[in-house]
Structure 1
Amino acid sequence: MSKVNDIIIKNLIDKLNLGISDDFFISFESLIKLGKRAKSGIIAYIEKKELDSFIKNVLVYILYYIDNQKFDLPLVINLYHTDFIIRAKTIMSIEEEGITHYISFILPLINDPDDSVRWAVIKLLITQDLIKNPLVREHLDNHLKQELNPIIRKNIRGFLENHN
């Protein structure tokens, strides 16, 4: 980690900015591990770029984590873990506990590369009756066009039709 420079940090943040993918999770974890070395690069990136609210929230979360390491949303670290099993189990535990303040961090995981994570997101949205939320419906409608798993696609379609 001693050879980490601003270019590497910018590349990690650029990969976050590409959206949910394996590279996103690796970059998230790397920036967390870099800690204070990543801070100035993250701040500069936020100040220079027009970012969508999700990526901005993630970067602000990383900054806050670097400074505090303990705060109100500890499960975000697990939501973006590189291991899909940990991501899926975290979503399931959030669902079981009925916690709702993670939704802005969970909703983008509808595009997770792993089927089990996407299914956990859908199940949480339904269990917490968030399927009626226009933002949630928009995310699901958009995702439906790209979903490759026929079972998940069929269930999303069914949930959207049954909750009009």
Structure 2
Amino acid sequence: MRFYTVALLLQSVSFSAANLAHYQLYDIQDHLKSFRCLDQIFNYHGLESHRLMAYRYLDAGRLTEITIPQIEVKVRNLPHGRKVMYKSSVPGSRYYLYSMRGDDDLVTFYNYILIIDSHGHISAIMAQDTSFQIAAPSIIRNENLCTIV
């Protein structure tokens, strides 16, 4: 019975990794990375100061970790094969979240979340927009991983 449980666990882990692999590219140098988020392009020049601050927070233990299964939940509804994340070049790396404030308009607030690996390299960006509906009071929150350009 134990062997069966271990086999099932290993099968689900390999499925999990294979699933995320469809949405990843091999890592490249940070200065070559660009992402499209909500009709904006984020590149190295716009992200470097945030990456440095995120690394300082990571070094101080102040960032929240995001696990591979949590990332997979976020890619589940994306078109198959859309590239949204760079795979860390260092085996066994973990991923962490760093929040960056975006521009706001009258009814929508924008937030961008930098996902960095445990070595401070940019892996992905997630865009969050929160809208306030005035006619029928409600809050609508959307969260999407940005596409690699």
Check whether TM > 0.5: no
**TM-score if structure 2 supplies the norm length?**
0.24
**TM-score if structure 1 supplies the norm length?**
0.22
Question: Which one has a larger percent strand, Structure 1 or Structure 2?
Answer: 2
Question: Which one has a larger percent helix, Structure 1 or Structure 2?
Answer: 1
